[in-house]
Amino acid sequence: MSKEVIGSAVVVGGGITGMQSALDLADAGYYVYLVEKGSSIGGVMSQLDKTFPTNDCAM
Amino acid sequence: MDKCIACGACTEKCPKKIDDLYNASLKKRKAIYVEYDQAVPLKYVIDPASCIKLTKDKCGNCAKICPADAINYDDKPETLKLNVGSIVLSPGFKPFDPTIFDTYQYAKFPNVVTSMEFERILSASGPTMGHLTRMSKDHEEPKKIAWFQCVGSRDMNRCDNGYCSSVCCMYAIKEAAIAKEHNGDDLDCAIFYMDMRTHGKDFERYYENAKKKGVRFVRSRVHTINPIPETDSLEVRYVTDDGRLETEVFDMIVLSIGLETDPSTVKLANDLGIKLTRGNFAEYETFKPVATSREGIFVAGAFAGPKDIPQAMIDASAAASAAGELLTSARNTRTKTAEAVPESNVAGDRPKVGVFVCSCGSNIAGTVDVKALAEYAESLPYVEYVTNNLFACSQDTQDKMAEIIKEKNLNRVVVAACTPKTHEGLFQETLINAGLNKYLFEMVNIRNHDSWVHKETPDLATDKAKDLLRMGVAKASLFEPLREGELNVNQTAMVVGGGVAGMTAAKALSSQGYQTHIIERSDCLGGQALNLFKTIKGEDVAEKVADLENAIKVDDRITVHLNTEIATVDGFVGNFKTQLKGGSKLLLEHGIAVMATGASPLQPTEYMYGEDPRVLTSLEMDIKFKTKDPILDSAESAVFIQCVGSRQPDRPYCSRVCCTHSIDNALELKKHKPDMDVFILYRDIRSYGEKEYLYREARDAGVIFIRYELDAKPVVEKSGDSLVVRVKDHVLGRPLELKADILTLASAVLPNRNEALAQFFKVPMNDDGFFVERHAKLGPSEFATDGVFLAGTAHYPKPLDETVAQGRAAAARAVTLLAKQKVYTSGQVARVDAAVCSSCGICVSVCPYSAPSFMDTGYYAGKAEINPVLCKGCGLCVAACRSGAIHHGGFDNSQIFAQIFTMSA
């Protein structure tokens, strides 16, 4: 097996967690494959109306 | 997919209706659909299970109508093989399905809804357009709504989810508060709960405010819902705290459903060979919170245990840090750099303005006559080109826009659409791709400022859109290209605080190749963790902290400065200069800083603390365990008092860690000496997430839990030689007298308030003394001040696993800045025309960011200049300058006056 490190990562799930992880990895200089089974990223947070405790719009 | 222009014609012509899952099935959508208006990517998809063409080979309407020839019925799932260095799993959770509970009759009664459905009902993009109505046929506005907590959580009888879902108490309070905002204060909202778990930052205040606003909190678990014939209302029977049986009728009932791991995620975990916990979440060690049981595979978010958004964001960055560490040697080997398009020189050219009017689906076009607006735009001075787009922000429109700019030689671009806050960057990117300076762009907000707020008067809204657009074009015509300053980012990091958060952050930074300095004011590393006995998973804390400390000591990229504090800080993101004092007197130049200054336990002033040696704080109790104190053998009874100094008017926050800590210590006592009487006096038990299992274990082991109210706190007295705790039993309603050979006070967690440090880095603190992060939800591990990051209990009280995660998260966020190696200043900053400056100094005194100063040398010595790195572009100095010597890039006086004059013209 080759010992060469591959400078890329896969992130499974495109909710807020996956999106943030993918952004942080990409901004740190790694190529990222963000994999999402649905037709758009955003996850459950995009379904929320407002968020606590600031009542900010979730979208 | 590349061809779809998201025009929506396919959806319009599709004859097949299916459940709209985005709207929790409260609405229908077509078999060809886009998930929601703001979906990314904004591309229509076909549901293969219900599409008539795909199932019966009939219809085919969408292919016929599609103007972009984007429909491909032969599209098939493909299997791709990716070679990667590490994997992050963030599959999220599945909202619990309460259909199995016949007692709640969720499937049968239309006005019993889940909390997810209620979110959609409250949402402006939901089935009722944000109008809070019942789901029964009458669609009446409810007058009384009840929330039932712990549906699918903390329940081993009717489902297998013994854990607490962590977020439902807060979202229920939020939903009640927002419902009251929608339907007025008369709306009666009642939340039926077991323990109110508002253990996050600022949550307790939110809870108290909800009480003040009249939200009722009823501590009771409701078992039966009966329908009221013909009204679709629901009768609820419950037993109150003092044992009375009550009956109440509600118009609507919201089931606060929990979070669980989707079976497909469980399968994925099994396929990958990852260990799961008993609650079906990914298992991890306390000091490796985002590492799964398999090397190279990391986990973040709700799959690592039910959690709220900020905690998930911390996980996300922590996982990026851990995953990135493995790849450090291959940094920038797989990334691609976009080819830079040379910028065309437009200086001195006659303005040629392109206007793009966005319909935003029906968001704008539903109110504003966009066709008339586009026609009007053509009549404006310098306008060369006008078009109307359905979604100006879609990828295909962006590509087309770049083509048009080049083809028509446009040198100014105006987009009349939504808000620059979210979309300016996107359009500026398009300008850059078209070879235009990105500051030759103006955005006119005809949505938030117009179509949304003037829905009732479309004609006037169209007039207003014309006014706004005219002003935008007048301003854009005067734009000049602006230059951005480029600065190197010093590749050294500074971490303030040598506790677990600070050490973790330093180690993570060093592992990604950065020189890191830890500044610690005490004489050793470790912080409060040195006082802890063990984790709830049974790990020896001292051993783990020693491992971490050793790893730091042998790391030649980390320098530790003990007995050292900070004297002064100069500079800004990428270029800080920090003068140390005390043990080290180094002048440290660094690019970023992490605040990990930690917290300390409150020294109580009640319950005879300090008056009797048997009264201890939680950490002092840990020391008894660590030293195997003989009292552990001799004691026959132990009492714990919770919320000592927390959740009271002078300290209105929950210290988050104390419930679990006391339960763990109570269990430890029971294990050590099973016949010891152990009591925990509490207000709400907040063993969130899978810590709930520990709570159950403690009850099974015979630990007695007695609840008290804030206005009837326990009383500690001496009776002869014995220590006695008096408290009213909440079940029996009678006073109890408990003998305490050991009395542990779960004292509050206090931040190590450091005003000077906050001043040095211009970072804010809240009323409780915790640092205020950039964004409560989305930016928990960084400050609004660029280049300054945040980790650990200085942010909010948190247990070790969360502390380690945030230490890593702060490092990950910092690495995104360090890895760029350069930062760019904005072009939209103030600039002094030194020839006109009268050296009055007003700009120097008025600037909140210390950006202006007097030049020391050169031809213009004595005149003002502005450091573009420090300038935030607020414009105070421009307005204050009496000589008119200061110009503001992108908001110059001439441009603003042009807007004003054309508005009134």
Are B603 and B643 in contact, with CB atoms under 8 Å apart? no
Residue A32, min C-alpha distance to chain B (Å): 8
Residue A22, min C-alpha distance to chain B (Å): 7
A18 inside 8 A of chain B by CB: yes
Determine whether the interchain pair A12/B43 forms a contact, defined as Cβ–Cβ distance below 8 Å: no
Residue A1, min C-alpha distance to chain B (Å): 13
Residues 25-54 of A with CB under 8 A from B: 25-31, 33, 38-54
Please state the length of chain A. Answer: 59
B305-316: per-residue pLDDT in tens? 999 999 999 999
Contacts of B506 by beta carbon, 8 Å cutoff, 6+ apart? B493, B495, B516, B518, B552, B558, B594, B811
Q: Are residues B741 and B756 in the same domain?
A: no
Classify the complex by whether its ipTM is higher than 0.90, answering yes or no: yes
Helices (H), B331-451: 370-378, 395-408, 420-433
Report the C-alpha gap between B343 and B334 in whole angstroms.
27
Determine whether the interchain pair A53/B174 forms a contact, defined as Cβ–Cβ distance below 8 Å: yes
Q: Are residues B720 and B620 in the same domain?
A: yes
SS3 of B49, please? coil
Are B415 and B443 in contact, with CB atoms under 8 Å apart? yes
Nearest alpha carbon to residue B877 among B893, B899, B861, B862: B893
Q: Are residues B855 and B817 in the same domain?
A: no
Determine whether the interchain pair A26/B41 forms a contact, defined as Cβ–Cβ distance below 8 Å: no
Using pLDDT thresholds of 50, 70 and 90, give the confidence band for residue A2.
low
A40 → closest Cβ in B40, B126, B820: B40
Report the C-alpha gap between B170 and B206 in whole angstroms.
8
Residues of A in contact with B170 (CB under 8 A): 52-53
Q: Are residues B152 and B67 in the same domain?
A: no
SS3 of B450, please? helix
Mean predicted confidence (pLDDT) in B104-109: 88
Report the C-alpha gap between B291 and B805 in whole angstroms.
10
What is the token pair recorded at B432? 């850059």
Any idea which residue has 């010595």 for tokens?
B861
pLDDT > 90? residue B784: no
Residue of A nearest to B779 (CA): A20
Residue of B nearest to A3 (CA): B85
Residues of B in contact with A2 (CB under 8 A): none
pLDDT of residue B892: 94
Q: Are residues B545 and B582 in the same domain?
A: yes
Strands B677-682 and B704-707: parallel
B301 → closest Cβ in A15, A50, A56: A15
Residues of A in contact with B812 (CB under 8 A): 24, 28
Please give the angle made by the CA atoms of B177, B311 and B777, to the nearest 5 degrees: 50
Percent of chain B's residues with pLDDT above 90: 87
The domain of B879 spans: 830-888
Interface mutation target, options B84, B299, B303, chain A, most CBs of A under 10 Å? B84
Residue B405, min C-alpha distance to chain A (Å): 29
Residues of B in contact with A46 (CB under 8 A): 22, 36, 38-39
Report the C-alpha gap between B411 and B349 in whole angstroms.
8
Q: What is the DSSP letter of B404?
A: H
Mean predicted confidence (pLDDT) in B162-184: 96
Phi, psi torsion values for B44, nearest 5 degrees: -75, 145
Question: In Å, how far are B277, B335, B429, B541, B640 from B693, measured between CA atoms?
Answer: 11, 44, 51, 21, 19
Per DSSP, which regions of B206-251 are E strands?
216-219, 224-228, 233-239, 245-250
B178 → closest Cβ in A7, A27, A49: A49
Mean predicted confidence (pLDDT) in A23-49: 95
Residue A55, min C-alpha distance to chain B (Å): 8
What is the token pair recorded at B798? 């948190």
Using pLDDT thresholds of 50, 70 and 90, give the confidence band for residue B37.
confident
Report the C-alpha gap between B67 and B64 in whole angstroms.
8
Sheet containing B86-89: order of strands: A31-35, A8-12, B86-89, B297-299
Between helix B458-477 and helix B370-378 the angle, nearest 10°, is: 30
Cis peptide before B41 (omega within 30 of 0): yes
Average model confidence (pLDDT) across chain B:
95
The domain of A52 spans: 8-57
Residues of B in contact with A53 (CB under 8 A): 170, 174, 200-203, 205-206, 776
pLDDT of residue B125: 85
Report the C-alpha gap between B73 and B225 in whole angstroms.
47
Mean predicted confidence (pLDDT) in B799-810: 98
Residue-wise over B558-582: b if at least 16 C-beta within 10 A, else e? bbbbbebbbeebebbbbbbebebee
Report the C-alpha gap between B28 and B24 in whole angstroms.
10
Determine whether the interchain pair A26/B327 forms a contact, defined as Cβ–Cβ distance below 8 Å: no
Total domains present in chain A: 1
What is the token pair recorded at B361? 């689906």
Q: Are residues B631 and B589 in the same domain?
A: no
Residue B790, min C-alpha distance to chain A (Å): 16
Determine whether the interchain pair B88/A9 forms a contact, defined as Cβ–Cβ distance below 8 Å: yes
Q: Are residues B876 and B778 in the same domain?
A: no
B39 inside 8 A of chain A by CB: yes
Determine whether the interchain pair B819/A24 forms a contact, defined as Cβ–Cβ distance below 8 Å: no
Nearest alpha carbon to residue A28 among B189, B333, B414: B333
Point out which residues pair with B765 in neighbouring strands.
Answer: B771
pTM of this prediction?
A: 0.90
B401-455: per-residue pLDDT in tens? 999 999 999 999 999 999 887 789 999 999 999 999 999 999 999 999 999 899 8
Question: In Å, how far are A16, A22, B87, B167 from B300, measured between CA atoms?
Answer: 10, 11, 11, 16
Q: Are residues B107 and B243 in the same domain?
A: yes
Residues of B in contact with A42 (CB under 8 A): 38-40
B182 inside 8 A of chain A by CB: no
Residue of B nearest to A7 (CA): B330
- B400-403 long-range CB contacts below 8 Å, 24 or more apart? B401/B356, B401/B427, B401/B430, B401/B434, B402/B430, B402/B433, B402/B434, B403/B434
B186-240: per-residue pLDDT in tens? 999 999 999 999 999 999 999 999 999 999 999 998 878 999 988 999 999 999 8
A21 → closest Cβ in B84, B90, B205: B90
Are B371 and B465 in contact, with CB atoms under 8 Å apart? no
Determine whether the interchain pair B331/A11 forms a contact, defined as Cβ–Cβ distance below 8 Å: no
Report the C-alpha gap between B338 and B432 in whole angstroms.
11
A20 → closest Cβ in B174, B316, B329: B316
B18 inside 8 A of chain A by CB: no
Contacts of B262 by beta carbon, 8 Å cutoff, 6+ apart? B91, B92, B93, B94
Q: Residue B861: exposed, middle, or buried by beta-carbon count in 10 A (0-12, 13-18, 19+)?
A: exposed
Does residue B331 lie in a domain region? no
Are B149 and B143 in contact, with CB atoms under 8 Å apart? no
Q: Are residues B542 and B639 in the same domain?
A: no
Report the C-alpha gap between B593 and B584 in whole angstroms.
17
B361-412: per-residue pLDDT in tens? 778 999 999 999 999 999 999 999 999 998 888 777 888 999 999 999 999 9
Total domains present in chain B: 6
Contacts of B94 by beta carbon, 8 Å cutoff, 6+ apart? B259, B260, B261, B262
Report the C-alpha gap between B85 and B769 in whole angstroms.
41
Does residue B727 lie in a domain region? yes
B326 inside 8 A of chain A by CB: yes
pLDDT > 70? residue B78: yes
Residue A2, min C-alpha distance to chain B (Å): 12
Does residue A35 lie in a domain region? yes
Does residue A50 lie in a domain region? yes
CB atoms within 10 A of CB B545: 21
Does residue B300 lie in a domain region? no
Does residue B290 lie in a domain region? no
Does residue B278 lie in a domain region? no
Does residue A38 lie in a domain region? yes
Report the C-alpha gap between B875 and B852 in whole angstroms.
12
Using pLDDT thresholds of 50, 70 and 90, give the confidence band for residue A1.
very low
Mean predicted confidence (pLDDT) in B54-60: 94
Q: Are residues B595 and B606 in the same domain?
A: no
pLDDT > 90? residue B100: no
Report the C-alpha gap between B269 and B776 in whole angstroms.
31
Does residue B571 lie in a domain region? yes
Does residue B669 lie in a domain region? yes
Report the C-alpha gap between B315 and B322 in whole angstroms.
10
Nearest alpha carbon to residue B425 among B824, B25, B12: B824
Does residue A16 lie in a domain region? yes
Report the C-alpha gap between B812 and B815 in whole angstroms.
5
What is the token pair recorded at B766? 């809240």
pLDDT > 90? residue B752: yes
Does residue B311 lie in a domain region? no
Report the C-alpha gap between B204 and B641 in whole angstroms.
19
Are A16 and A22 in contact, with CB atoms under 8 Å apart? no
Phi, psi torsion values for B744, nearest 5 degrees: -100, 125
Residue A52, min C-alpha distance to chain B (Å): 6
Q: Are residues B647 and B790 in the same domain?
A: no
CB atoms within 10 A of CB B717: 12
B93: amino acid identity, one letter: F
Determine whether the interchain pair A52/B203 forms a contact, defined as Cβ–Cβ distance below 8 Å: yes
Q: What is the CA radius of gyration of chain A?
A: 15
Write the DSSP string, B778-847: TBTTB-SSTTEEE-GGGTS---HHHHHHHHHHHHHHHHHHHTT-EEE--SS-EEE-TTT-----HHHHH-
Residues of B in contact with A43 (CB under 8 A): 92
Torsion angle defined by CA atoms of residues B619, B621, B623 and B628, in that order, rounded to the nearest 10 degrees: -160
Residues of A in contact with B331 (CB under 8 A): 7, 28-30
SS3 of B85, please? coil
Q: Are residues B545 and B649 in the same domain?
A: no
CA torsion sign for B377, B379, B380, B383 is positive
Please give the angle made by the CA atoms of A7, A10 and A15, to the nearest 5 degrees: 135
B756 inside 8 A of chain A by CB: no
Report the C-alpha gap between B517 and B519 in whole angstroms.
6
Phi, psi torsion values for B182, nearest 5 degrees: -70, -50
Residue A47, min C-alpha distance to chain B (Å): 7
SS3 of B669, please? helix
Determine whether the interchain pair B777/A56 forms a contact, defined as Cβ–Cβ distance below 8 Å: yes
B615-661: per-residue pLDDT in tens? 999 999 999 999 999 999 999 999 999 999 999 999 999 999 999 99
Are B804 and B792 in contact, with CB atoms under 8 Å apart? no
Report the C-alpha gap between B688 and A26 in whole angstroms.
33
CB atoms within 10 A of CB B244: 8
